[in-house]
Amino acid sequence: MTVDTAEKPVENHAFEADVARLLHMMVHSVYSDKDVFLRELISNAADACEKLRYEAIAAPELLASNPDNRIILTLDEEALRLTVEDNGIGMNHDELIEALGTIARSGTRAFMERIEAAKSGEGAQLIGQFGVGFYSCFMVADRVDVVSRRAGSAEAWLWSSDGKGSYSVTAADLADAPERGTRITLHIMEDAKTYTSKWTVERIVKEQSGHVPVPILIAEKPGAEPAQLTDGTALWTRSKSDVTKEEHTDFYRSLSGQYDDPALTVHFRAEGRHEYTALAYVPGSQPFDMFDPDRKGRMKLYVKRVFITDDAELLPRYLRFVRGLVDTADLPLNVSREMIQQSPILTAIRKGLTSRILTAIEKLAESEAETFKTLWENFGAVLKEGIYDDFEKRTQLLGLARFRSTTSGENWRTLADYVKDAREGQDAIYYLAGTSLDQLKASPHLEGFRARGIEVLLLSDSIDSFWTMSAPEFEGKAFKSVTQGAADLSRFAKLGAEETATPEASGEVNDLLTFAKQALADQVSDVRASDRLTESAVCLIASESGYDRQMEKILQSAGRIDETAKPILEINLDHAMIRAIAKHGDDVAFKEDAVRLLLDQARILDGDKPTDPRAFAERLQRVFERAVS
């Protein structure tokens, strides 16, 4: 809606529904640390300055007579105002509405669901991770005015809102507007007046934004000469030995928008055929959107300290959790986005950076086991994607990988540990894949392996079913699913048991096996005696060729296959229930019900449901009636 006034028309807009909901949560904040708003505004201002530097490569006139970027914080304790002003790229009318009136980020809804359920103090991390930092200013301000003029434009615009559901946009007075860039004026609430204090603002800037690559100045009151707070020196240009752990933490937080400490810092300068400086951080906690299919890496590309893009593929997808940047002088400043993706220089940088990060993670595993354990628990599922799609780094990633197993308890096992402790004559690394660690531990497929002291890896990440197929072996031992093909466990003696020949099954039991093959021929490819079962009566396995049971389920769920192949039903011929059923050899109707119930029991143990629940219930009822009559 547009309201005509005597001076300039005022446009009134309602916030997009998601923004209105978000603002309500900001005003009624669950966050204990409201300092985050200033870091977010400074970060946005620095980004605007970086964007101007990039656009000025092709259009130097945008810098006009003011080529030096800066951010000025102006305090007004009497009027309870805090102003954050930059001379960056600025925004025109449409950009102002798009940037401050809507949220067009895929993770927003997940963010809001998180903060609605968040406990006090968690929000500081959430804000930066989902790119809604500007709106955090409504935690401390009851009105916000934004005046912005896009570089090279003769128009300036005023955006204003009290954060209660609507905002207005009107043409700004050019005499009061920045020459270029954006000025954000926060009308601070009475209970947040400390944010107009010089001591408070200086503390926050030095703690959280001390290494933003744009100088930050502070004026103690309107009209006062601003004094420099930070010099905008790029941290990555300094010698590695000159940067403290605290400075790295500060820079990581400003770079990543997170409030945790980095678990690992990789800072180096590469020289030789290609020269570049890299600064990379492995976060100390898992980003909430790490498994978002649209999520890309978060590495920034600079050329001679000029920000170029944060969309260059500087790391493979399985390292997408790493935050940081690369600064090189080997690329031209006017490099296009298309040229970046095809550049052999970027390919070489990507290869070198990937190697350095993986080597640093290896060293961390050797020197700081507890820190590495946390890193693996946060990012192991993503790192294992590299085993599947990075042939060159596969051996290195297999060495890094950690696993739960039937012998590990709550500890992690390496493949080297597994191979060292394998039984004599064991030529395979056995694994069981599924969706839940507890369900895997209870699987009947493990019984025969446990009885013989053979370790089985328990793989509960979805990527596990893929990399185990593409990684043919480790130290000469092939990966083999315990739900596929013959287990061939008879060659291993059971623990604590004497070496005795397995007694032959009775004629009645063999007859039951033959009957089951005929009765279930439409649902299974075979019915056979099992050497992997010691306690359970039945289980389902996949044939030797094709996919294992879990991989079939994943592909069917994704619509890649219409239906799974017929499984094999394995029966424990030594089980008391099987022997009891076999004694009723003349009762065909009972045996028909019994073998079909056994098949459904195997399906349930496999995490599935009976294919026909009604028929399952009717058979169960008939068997119960027979048992109690």
The CATH number linked to 463 is 3.40.50.11260
Rounded-to-integer distance, Cα 298 and Cα 176, Å: 37
> What is the extent of the structural domain holding 312?
235-375
Ligand-binding annotation for 624, yes or no, is no
In this prediction, residue 15 has a pLDDT band, given cuts at 50, 70 and 90, of confident
Question: Residue 464 domain-assigned?
Answer: yes
pLDDT digits (tens, 9 = 90+) for 365-382: 999 999 999 999 999 999
Ligand-binding annotation for 402, yes or no, is no
Neighbours of 152 (CB within 10 A): 16
Together in a domain, 160 and 194: yes
Q: What pTM was estimated for this model as a whole?
A: 0.72
Together in a domain, 169 and 273: no
Ligand-binding annotation for 123, yes or no, is no
Together in a domain, 291 and 369: yes
Ligand-binding annotation for 443, yes or no, is no
Ligand-binding annotation for 291, yes or no, is no
Which residue, among 568, 555, 565, 488, has the nearest Cα to 520 in the 3D structure?
568
Question: Residue 420 domain-assigned?
Answer: yes
pLDDT digits (tens, 9 = 90+) for 530-539: 989 999 999 9
Q: Output Rg (C-alpha) for the chain, integer angstroms.
A: 32
pLDDT digits (tens, 9 = 90+) for 392-448: 999 999 999 999 999 999 899 999 999 999 999 999 999 999 989 999 999 999 999
Question: Residue 84 domain-assigned?
Answer: yes
DSSP at 211: T
Could you tell me the CATH number of the domain that includes residue 594? 1.20.120.790
Question: Residue 497 domain-assigned?
Answer: no
In this prediction, residue 58 has a pLDDT band, given cuts at 50, 70 and 90, of confident
> What residues have CB less than 8 Å from 181, skipping those under 6 apart?
48, 52, 85, 86, 87, 88, 89, 90, 148, 149, 151
- Rounded to whole angstroms, what are the CA distances from 346 to 66, 272, 342, 563? 32, 15, 8, 43
Q: Structural domain tally of the chain?
A: 4
Ligand-binding annotation for 250, yes or no, is no
Ligand-binding annotation for 55, yes or no, is no
Confidence at residue 549, expressed as pLDDT on a 0 to 100 scale: 86
Could you tell me the CATH number of the domain that includes residue 277? 3.30.230.80
Ligand-binding annotation for 130, yes or no, is yes
Q: What is the mean pLDDT of residues 33-62?
A: 88
Higher pLDDT, 585 or 2: 585
Evaluate if residue 250 carries a pLDDT over 90: no
Of 375, 390, 423, the residue at which a domain comes to its end is 375
Together in a domain, 178 and 258: no
Ligand-binding annotation for 168, yes or no, is no
Together in a domain, 438 and 323: no
Question: Residue 418 domain-assigned?
Answer: yes
Together in a domain, 89 and 214: yes
Ligand-binding annotation for 297, yes or no, is no
Ligand-binding annotation for 134, yes or no, is yes
Together in a domain, 62 and 157: yes
Of 207, 230, 253, the residue at which a domain comes to its end is 230
Ligand-binding annotation for 352, yes or no, is no
Evaluate if residue 165 carries a pLDDT over 50: yes
Together in a domain, 481 and 619: no
Of 230, 254, 273, the residue at which a domain comes to its end is 230
Rounded-to-integer distance, Cα 584 and Cα 598, Å: 15
Together in a domain, 54 and 196: yes
Together in a domain, 311 and 353: yes
Together in a domain, 244 and 226: no
Question: Residue 29 domain-assigned?
Answer: yes
Instruction: Return the H-helix or E-strand segment holding 171.
Output: strand 166-171
Confidence at residue 124, expressed as pLDDT on a 0 to 100 scale: 44
Confidence at residue 354, expressed as pLDDT on a 0 to 100 scale: 97
Ligand-binding annotation for 563, yes or no, is no
Confidence at residue 100, expressed as pLDDT on a 0 to 100 scale: 85
Q: What is the mean pLDDT of residues 386-393?
A: 94
Could you tell me the CATH number of the domain that includes residue 101? 3.30.565.10
Question: Residue 496 domain-assigned?
Answer: no
Rounded-to-integer distance, Cα 595 and Cα 511, Å: 12
pLDDT digits (tens, 9 = 90+) for 268-310: 999 988 999 999 999 999 877 777 656 666 788 888 777 778 7
Together in a domain, 94 and 72: yes
Evaluate if residue 242 carries a pLDDT over 50: yes
Question: Residue 384 domain-assigned?
Answer: no
How much is the mean pLDDT over the chain?
Answer: 87
Ligand-binding annotation for 129, yes or no, is yes
